[in-house]
Amino acid sequence: MKNKKLILLLILMIGMVFVAYSTMAQEESVGEELQNSVSSIWEKIKWPIIAAVSMFIFQGILYVIGLFKKDRLQKTILNKYVIFHMKDGHRYQGTMRLDSRGAEIVSEESRQRGHAPSYIFRQNELDNRIGAYIRYLDTMNDREKQERKWDHERLINPPLSHRVIRKTRNMVIELNAAAKNAISMVWGGIKQMTSPLQAQLARVNTQVEDLGGEAASLDTQLSKMESETATFLQEESYERIIERLVGTRVKIRIDKVEHANGEYMALFKDYNKKHMSFMNVRDKDNNGFRDQWNYEHEYKGNINAFNRRDDRGLRSRMVEKDGKYFLVFENNTSYSIQVGKIRLFDPGGWERNLEFKWHIDPLSVRRIQLNPVIQHRVGPFERISTSERLTPRNFKKIRLEFRSFRDADVIFPRKDVCTIIESAEKRQQELFTISALTDAILDRSETEEIPLQDSEGKAIHGMNLVHGYVTNVNEERIDLKTIDSSYSRRWEVESAYSHFDNSLRLKLPIHKRTIPYFANRIASQNILVEQISQNELHKETFSQLTLPTKSRNGKPRIPLQKLLPRPEFKLPLKVMALTGNSSNEEFPVLQQFEYVSEHHMLYESVNNLRNDRLAKMDILWIGNGEIYKSGYRLNIDTEHRIKNFASQGGIVIVSGQDIKTNSRQRRGAGWIPEPLTGIEYEETDECLPTSKGRRSRVFRTPHVLNTTPDTTEIPGIRLDDMWVDPLGKWNSLAESITHDASALLTLPFQQGLYIVTSLKNDTENDVKINHKFMENLLHFSVRWKDNQRWRQRLIRR
């Protein structure tokens, strides 16, 4: 058995050897057959692959062109909160997304109301249906407002780089025909380069047609790319008539846009072939851009069924009280809304025309009584009628009309919509140099007018001298604060004086003495210094800038390049006191502090902050009890005004709170950026200054106060309800005896400062005790403001 197995194994091994030898003999022939099969497969799939890759490349190029083909003015509102005002009066509001084929409005507010979360507009709808792209200023966030401020500044005073870029752009647009020819030559060259490959291109075109797709051939793709690139320049426009009006106020007329037709005044920002962009669009009465709307509501006699909130934020409802019917309007917006016609109908009709003279203030609730009376004809007489008094329950429908005016930036379509009628003001591009007005600034004579003449001696018309400022703006439209900042920014008088002082101490180079431009500047500055030296008052005023040799005590002064000296002349400071709602005891005492740290203090008392004067103040004093009075007093509008005032560099001083509870109930405060809660505390005359409070010397300058009364000779402080800082963001300057609350806290906020105290100033006797500490708080605030101004000057230096 074993022998048979050995014989079979030997036969198997011999067979394997013969197979191996035969395989090696056929290896070369098999390799050739494999290579031939691969080549035949490549010949079959080569042209489809080349066609697919070519189509991919062409489509990619067209996609890149589409990215840059978006309308230039529409791209400025990309990803911004925009209102699409359609020509038929409908409005769509939300965040705008833009594509080369259309646009989309994404609105979370619309989704919450049960409507579509987004609306898509094709390019033909954008061209034919939309009447305006509106951006209201009160809907912009802080970053967008800052960007808009920069755009406004560049528009009014364009830098040299912007002017050069715009002139270059206009030159290219004017040479549009040459640009088209250049593009045609480029694509012609590409076609000519591919002419030797016509046979191959024909085969690729055949494969493209077999693959299908948007294009039938590569020639079609090349033609499409040529047309797309050629139309890119056609979207821009240059018109000499309106180009000179860019950056000025113009009068425009709007047509074919329901609820927006009419004439407006606006700052002309930019334009192209399809659109015009404007800033600060206002009507002829300077009321802002008009928004007018109306709606009907069918309530079928059930007044409780009429409760509607429109997309502007106005809620309207109807209530009955003591047999009287009222129409209640709740305005949840930051702007005033005017009411026009109120109409009740079906059956019959009753109408009351308020002529848009009845206003609903921002963040307020108002109601108007409804007394419908209809006339019935007495048959068979046609001219005899009798009156019948009804109630709103006798009617089925109501129609309301509203209107508002808001500051807005708007982009209008040019075709049949927006037309520039005339220029609204004279444009003066040339800025006055300091040498031109040197004599006029220092002239103390009683001359009422300073004649302004050109180089030929002719009077310059349209220029006015208003409050010492040379401007082309009429007096009723002038903003002294804006003009003052513009003069300071353009001239940089202080920098020019210091630079002149440095130049006098060094040997002037030869080019500055020979070139007329520099020679005229040196001559005018020498004349200025000579006039200053002849007048002691002028010399004293400008000594810190023009003659910085020694200080008043005779010691050498630190060079101006290393340290900018503090100003010797203190400007007046304005203080607004929010008082009168709880008590009137503090303001008469505040007015006694006429001078604080050599600053003349100007005081003003108000009982609410709904005015524009707060922005011009330096310090806001919130009186005792103004925060709480039988509950939470400050509304949302007031809180935002306080925060905005502090962020712009103002100082907010809170005198004290007033909590009337039986237990230590904690309450929040919305007028501050960081959490702070108030608790009821027993009246006390003691508090413990912290290490920061002792370093600030708020309890020692200018009056030394007794915070732990151990003698009656030193004046003390009377405190009441105190504060708790839950997150530790505030600087505590004084604590209660038990260390569980703070009596004096500070918080720097952006450019301003919050000072929150626990003073008890309910009665005249309380104020008499705390009046020295009130003066200390003013000194502390003024010193802080002076230090901030000094640091800013050092940074600018």
pLDDT in tens, 219-255: 565 565 555 555 555 567 788 888 888 888 899 999 9
| More reliable by pLDDT, 299 or 99 | 299
pLDDT at residue 27 tops 80: no
SS3 content of the chain, % helix, strand, coil (to 5): 40, 25, 35
| More reliable by pLDDT, 511 or 213 | 511
When the pLDDT of each residue in the chain is averaged and rounded to a whole number, the result is 76
pLDDT in the model for residue 616:
85
Instruction: Identify whether the C-beta of residue 133 lies closer than 8 Å to the C-beta of residue 78.
Output: no
Mean pLDDT score, 495-507: 58
Which of 291-300, 381-390, 507-516 shows the lowest mean pLDDT across its residues?
507-516
pLDDT over 70 percentage in the chain: 62
Distance CA 73, CA 277 (A): 7
**Considering all CA atoms of the chain, what is the largest pairwise distance in Å, rounded to the nearest integer?**
145
pLDDT at residue 2 tops 50: no
pLDDT at residue 519 tops 90: no
Amino acid in position 159? P
pLDDT in the model for residue 385:
72
pLDDT in the model for residue 336:
92
Instruction: Identify whether the C-beta of residue 62 lies closer than 8 Å to the C-beta of residue 54.
Output: no
Distances (CA, A) of 556 to 27, 50, 503, 543, 548: 103, 83, 20, 14, 9
pLDDT in the model for residue 122:
87
Spatial CB neighbours of 568, under 8 Å, sequence gap ≥ 6: 544
Instruction: Identify whether the C-beta of residue 230 lies closer than 8 Å to the C-beta of residue 224.
Output: no
pLDDT in the model for residue 8:
55
pLDDT in tens, 135-170: 999 888 888 888 999 999 888 888 888 888 888 888
pLDDT at residue 204 tops 80: no
Q: Is 98 exposed, middle or buried (0-12, 13-18, 19+ CB in 10 A)?
A: middle
pLDDT in the model for residue 562:
44
Which of 85-89, 182-186, 389-393, 545-549 shows the lowest mean pLDDT across its residues?
545-549
Instruction: Identify whether the C-beta of residue 682 lies closer than 8 Å to the C-beta of residue 688.
Output: no
Q: What pLDDT band is residue 564 in, cutting at 50, 70 and 90?
A: very low
pLDDT in the model for residue 10:
58
pLDDT in the model for residue 436:
47
pLDDT at residue 666 tops 60: no
Distance CA 492, CA 497 (A): 9
Residue-wise burial string across 753-773, b where 16 or more C-beta atoms lie within 10 A, e elsewhere: bbbbbbbbbbeeebbebbbbb
pLDDT at residue 504 tops 60: no
Instruction: Identify whether the C-beta of residue 688 lies closer than 8 Å to the C-beta of residue 736.
Output: yes
pLDDT in the model for residue 662:
45
Instruction: Identify whether the C-beta of residue 597 lies closer than 8 Å to the C-beta of residue 786.
Output: yes
**What is the pTM assigned to this prediction?**
0.47
pLDDT in the model for residue 36:
63
Q: What pLDDT band is residue 28 in, cutting at 50, 70 and 90?
A: low
Which of 388-392, 467-471, 726-730, 738-742 shows the lowest mean pLDDT across its residues?
467-471
Distances (CA, A) of 763 to 582, 622, 659: 11, 16, 16
pLDDT in tens, 424-464: 764 444 444 444 444 444 444 444 445 566 666 666 666 66
pLDDT at residue 724 tops 80: yes
pLDDT in the model for residue 215:
44
pLDDT at residue 186 tops 90: no
pLDDT in the model for residue 401:
94
pLDDT in the model for residue 431:
46
pLDDT in the model for residue 559:
46
pLDDT in the model for residue 329:
94
pLDDT at residue 477 tops 90: no
Most confidently modeled range among 55-64, 145-154, 168-177, 207-216: 145-154
pLDDT in the model for residue 427:
44
Q: What pLDDT band is residue 781 in, cutting at 50, 70 and 90?
A: very high
Distance CA 465, CA 440 (A): 11
Distance CA 608, CA 611 (A): 8
pLDDT at residue 489 tops 50: yes
Distance CA 635, CA 120 (A): 38
pLDDT in the model for residue 610:
79
Distances (CA, A) of 124 to 83, 100, 225, 235: 18, 12, 21, 15
pLDDT in the model for residue 400:
94
Residue with tokens 């030394």: 704
| More reliable by pLDDT, 369 or 108 | 369
Residue with tokens 């180089």: 455
The residue among 137, 121, 140 whose CA lies nearest residue 129 is: 121
Q: Which tokens hold the place of 133?
A: 């792209």
Distance CA 217, CA 224 (A): 11
| More reliable by pLDDT, 296 or 713 | 296
Spatial CB neighbours of 630, under 8 Å, sequence gap ≥ 6: 660
Residue-wise burial string across 354-388, b where 16 or more C-beta atoms lie within 10 A, e elsewhere: eebeebbebbbebeeebebebeeeeeeeeeeeeee
Residue 362: is the preceding peptide bond cis (ω within 30°)? no
| More reliable by pLDDT, 367 or 193 | 367
pLDDT at residue 793 tops 60: yes
pLDDT at residue 591 tops 70: yes
pLDDT in tens, 59-83: 666 666 566 567 788 888 888 999 9
pLDDT in tens, 307-356: 988 888 899 999 998 888 999 999 988 899 999 999 998 877 888 999 89
Which of 130-144, 281-295, 551-565, 627-641 shows the lowest mean pLDDT across its residues?
551-565
Distance CA 645, CA 612 (A): 11
